[in-house]
Structure 1
Amino acid sequence: MIRPAAPAADRPAAADRPADLVLHSAHVHTVDDSRPRAEAIAVRDGRIAWVGDGDDWRALTGPDTEVVDARGRLVLPGFVDSHNHVRLGSDADCVQLAGARTLEEIGARIAERLRCHPDADWIEGEAFDYSAIPGGRMPTAADLDRFTGDRPAFVLSYDVHTAWLNTAALRRLGIDRDTGQTAYGTVRKDPATGEPTGFLTDFAVRGLSRDGHRALRAAGVPWADPDRQYRRLAGSLDMAARYGITTVVEPQNSLDDLPLFERALAEGRLRSRLVAGLFHPRGTTAEDLAAFAEAARRHRSDRFRVGPLKLYIDDVVEPHTAALLEPYAGHHSHRGETFYPPEEFAEVLAGLDAAGFQAFVHATGDRGIRTVLDAVEHARTVNGPRDARHQIVHVECLDPADVPRFAELGVVACMQPRHCSPDIAGPGRDWAEAVGEHRWTKAWPMRSLHRAGAVLALSSDWNVAEMDPLVGLYTAVTRRGLDGGEPWMPGETLDLATALRGYTLGSAHAVHLERELGSLAPGKLADLVLLSDDLFAVEPKAYLDARVELGVLGGEVVHRAD
């Protein structure tokens, strides 16, 4: 269990017992409003013992104290990544398609994989970008067939919300013109022939569910193998420690996935605290909820906790499956769909709220977001207000009328700054073209939400985007691509201090851990990072060249740069 912070009067005086670790001559950005800045910090028994200035730190040292001269560099609370799919990771056994801008480049990468692994039973790929498909259409089995031949191919989009299969994979999985839904996705059909196109939507909703994963594993798709899952998890956890992420929120898991985290903990691979959300698909039963509650009771240590529930109200903008208030650009009537009728979703959320659960709800479209806010308002009406901190995750296209409702209803805006970068979502990209220029002012309105009093919990959404919080900070502050260029919707940038709060205290608040994590104050858990540069003293472009020199979790050094 997380040990409660000792009252100031009960903590040992500095001279009684030396600190275990001291960092001095630093710019300590505490994210603590009572003392925003300091020059030194001392750690004892896993907690922050002292924060101060000058040479007072010397009184806390002893022969075994590790003393680090920060030489003016920046010390921050450890990053809290409020939405990070460490269990999905980046799979070394998949063809990596990030950055492939054309079908030909996708084909070249597949050919290279086949050259190196000629006996592979399946071709698997991840991170394909919708914009690589010519003409703004969605991919087809025929597109893959020319590169893969008769070997089955299973390829995931960069956002893991869609799957792309070739003809051999359709046969292997038993998908034909009579198949509408599978346990792992919705089968798109050619309107002229009625045959499956090879494109599956709703993969994140179905394929990452317990039933979906079991169905893929039973069909022999190697990506779903538990050992492959664990390798992805272990690699992602190592990356999190390297990037100074001291707390990870893995938002979507089934009960079957929890042994992966238990194994990582037992093997010493869990060098960040981890909060695991459990997936609540439509049709979740009372028995399922009882099992979720029992899992939460069983896993409540300071290193591994289980508890929040993940729901979906809509899908994603690029394939036109997010729910919009008005039709998609170029369409007369198509607005996308919600996974629940609004009235049903309101009752589901009210029931979860009454049972004491916290909900993380994926919502990208303005109608999807409004449906969730309406449901939270309904829950407060029937249950009375409570400090639930329900989250809306992504908040990509938000109607201005709904901006103040986040603070009014106590809803956390869990957002991913990198998603709004112009090289991912901006002009000429599928997201911007799908919503149309008249809605660009609704795109990721982080500054508007902050000014309206909403709590921002910022995150990476790895492996949809880079895990490195410094990349997210750069994008939040500039709204520019990684290569610079013109900013997109610069009126919604954040200042650095606000963005840092979103990656630390805001994200800790989002999972009810702000009393223990997210700022540097005496008595709190000693989760902190030392950066190679003082971000407040350099231009934002330099954030991308900075790195974590030292990562500390509960007073233990878990990462030290070479």
Structure 2
Amino acid sequence: MNDSAAPADLIIHNAHVHTVDPALPRAEALAVRDGVITWVGDEADWSHLRGPATEVVDAGGRLLLPGFVDAHNHVRLGSDSACVQLAGARTLEEIGARITAWLDAHPDAHWVEAEAFDYSAIPDGRMPTAADLDRFTGDRPALVLSYDVHTAWLNTAALRLLGIDASVEQTPYGTVQKDPATGRPTGFLTDFAVRGLSRDGHRALQAAGVPWAHPDRQYQRLCGSLDMAARFGITTVVEPQNSLDDLELFQRAAAEGRLRSRLVAALFHPRGTTQRDLAEFLNAARHHADDRMRVRALKLYIDDVVEPHTAALLEPYAGHAHHRGETFYPPQEFADTVAELDALGFQLFVHATGDRGIRTVLDAFEHARDVNGTRDSRHQVVHVECLDPADLPRFAELGVVACMQPRHCAPDIAGPGQDWAEAVGKERWSKAWPMRSLHRAGTRLAFSSDWNVAEMDPMVGIYTAVTRQGLNGGPAWMPEETVDLTTALHGYTMGSAWANHLDDRLGSLTPGKHADLVLLSRDLFAISDPREILDTHVELSTVGGEIVHRAPSFG
């Protein structure tokens, strides 16, 4: 496919080019000029595009793909090197040992901050308490975030410093859990992702002197995550939850050359968002509308998460007679809110994990269509963890995207013996992350990492999507809901590009589209063992034809 014979800036040849373009699914070479793909074709046909200044890359038979579009990646939240790292700590004693070791190394720290605690590390299936932390932290205030950042765990000193006592039900950064016998705060805060990551929540934490919330710490996390994105071939990042204050961090990163991937930033719309807020959101969308940084969508929550029993289920949680979680809005209020935002032209990303939560969102999208008429909204249900079969066809019928994170359904995270599977009960396991069923029903799938809830590397997500196994192998969990490699790659490229209204310029290796490319260290279509996917890395990635990552081992 030729557009002209003008010399290219970059030619990649001797490649297995998986274009994700049905008009030309496979090719062997590709040419780029002025940041745009100008030619895709056979190995024998590229030499006439070579000029004196053309960079020519011999791919050595490796797989060349469109750049990955990570449809849900919290690069701003990131992973914080100043925190105690609790990933992989399987017991309360191991959590304590890591905190103790950190304190020995940081004797002058005013706060103890930790991240990525796993709910299953707390004994007897209960939620953590301030007393659990006190014996490791003493009188130094401590803030510990769960691996999904949906809950916060405080010790007694932090409760006292933050003014949380028996009279406090709600804070700007979370809902206070109380001991049913004494009425006193347990030290456990739910809804942290909904409140603590909001504009008001962050400002309240900053005012209280919590170091984790300081803008400099936020920027440190952002830059570390952006560097990872470039290394992993993520040429477009969708940051799904930001306040207007946070946009300054991205502008700073762009000005300092740290924002090498394209960015789509969604603004957080908590319950109670005002008309003045919406006017500011619309203004931000108009101001940030180019190909490198775009503000387009709004993020809402309908429920929380399964593990602490805060997702909204149709039937009670396993082992409970009545408790089935709550939605953050009454259904009609939510439907009216969605219709209002849809009428203003916003695209909506709605967090929904439980089957009742997901149904409430689909009902709201249907209501918006009935009120406003059909438009190319591409609204998203984000996560889709526990989906009732009756709602499966509604995604395609309503034109709703399923934005899913394959790694979340791995057996070592959510399967038998883990808190997710035990909370919903075995009779609901068939509802867990039904990727293949949604795909067969015609749903648009957008795949993503949900960093730093899970690993950012798309290879981890692709491996899990095609195997539903843990990173160490072992039995697959619900293997009937795996997808094939082509579908998984589509979900990380064209699926996510389409989901974010970027399919006219990204998502496939098609002449005329931006030259966002990823060259992998091996051809995934030629491997015999899916575990080889995990050993695959990005050799070269470009954004608009500019090389943003080149592996040291690649010449």
Aligned to 1:5: none
Aligned to 1:369: 358
Q: Cα distance, 1:195 vs. partner?
A: 0.6
- Which of 531, 536, 539 lines up with 1:546 in the alignment? 536
1:50 partnered with 2:39: yes
Aligned to 1:26: 15
> Whole-Å Cα distance in 2 between the matches of residues 184 and 97 of structure 1?
21
- Which of 218, 221, 237 lines up with 2:207 in the alignment? 218
1:249 partnered with 2:238: yes
> Whole-Å Cα distance in 1 between the matches of residues 294 and 329 of structure 2?
29
> Whole-Å Cα distance in 2 between the matches of residues 335 and 35 of structure 1?
49
Aligned to 2:291: 302
Aligned to 2:326: 337
Q: Cα distance, 1:54 vs. partner?
A: 2.3
Q: Cα distance, 1:55 vs. partner?
A: 1.8
Aligned to 1:560: 550
Query: Aligned AA for 2:164?
Result: I
Aligned to 2:420: 431
After superposition, the C-alpha distances for 1:209-242 in whole angstroms (9 at most, x for unaligned) are 0000000000000000000000000000000000
- Which of 251, 264, 267 lines up with 2:256 in the alignment? 267
| SS of residue in 1 equivalent to 2:324 | coil
After superposition, the C-alpha distances for 1:274-301 in whole angstroms (9 at most, x for unaligned) are 0000000001111110100000000112
Aligned to 1:511: 500
Query: Aligned AA for 1:543?
Result: I
Aligned to 2:76: 87
Q: Cα distance, 1:540 vs. partner?
A: 1.1
Aligned to 1:189: 178
Aligned to 1:169: 158
1:523 partnered with 2:500: no
1:318 partnered with 2:307: yes
Query: Aligned AA for 1:429?
Result: Q
Query: Aligned AA for 2:448?
Result: S
- Which of 365, 388, 393 lines up with 1:404 in the alignment? 393
Aligned to 1:3: none
- Which of 72, 87, 101 lines up with 1:112 in the alignment? 101
Query: Which residues in structure 2 correspond to 1:67-216 (within 5 Å)?
Result: 67-216=56-205
Query: Aligned AA for 1:425?
Result: A
Query: Aligned AA for 1:495?
Result: D
TM-score scaled to structure 2, two decimals? Answer: 0.99
TM-score scaled to structure 1, two decimals? Answer: 0.97
> Whole-Å Cα distance in 2 between the matches of residues 540 and 46 of structure 1?
34
| SS of residue in 2 equivalent to 1:41 | strand
> Whole-Å Cα distance in 2 between the matches of residues 124 and 257 of structure 1?
21
Aligned to 1:289: 278
* C-alpha RMSD over aligned residues: 0.8
Q: Cα distance, 1:352 vs. partner?
A: 0.5
> Whole-Å Cα distance in 1 between the matches of residues 7 and 124 of structure 2?
66
| SS of residue in 2 equivalent to 1:124 | strand
Aligned to 1:227: 216
Query: Aligned AA for 2:246?
Result: D
> Whole-Å Cα distance in 2 between the matches of residues 57 and 137 of structure 1?
63
1:353 partnered with 2:342: yes
| SS of residue in 2 equivalent to 1:461 | coil
| SS of residue in 2 equivalent to 1:441 | helix
> Whole-Å Cα distance in 2 between the matches of residues 109 and 54 of structure 1?
54
After superposition, the C-alpha distances for 1:254-286 in whole angstroms (9 at most, x for unaligned) are 001000000000001001000000000001111
> Whole-Å Cα distance in 2 between the matches of residues 49 and 109 of structure 1?
53
After superposition, the C-alpha distances for 1:353-409 in whole angstroms (9 at most, x for unaligned) are 111011000000000000000000001101110010000000000000100000000
| SS of residue in 2 equivalent to 1:362 | strand
Q: Cα distance, 1:549 vs. partner?
A: 0.2
* Number of equivalences: 551
Q: Cα distance, 1:64 vs. partner?
A: 1.0
Query: Aligned AA for 1:362?
Result: H
Aligned to 1:440: 429
| SS of residue in 2 equivalent to 1:55 | helix
> Whole-Å Cα distance in 1 between the matches of residues 534 and 52 of structure 2?
37
> Segments of 4+ in structure 1 off by > 4 A?
none
After superposition, the C-alpha distances for 1:312-364 in whole angstroms (9 at most, x for unaligned) are 00000000000000000000000000000000000000000111011000000
1:473 partnered with 2:435: no
Q: Cα distance, 1:112 vs. partner?
A: 1.2
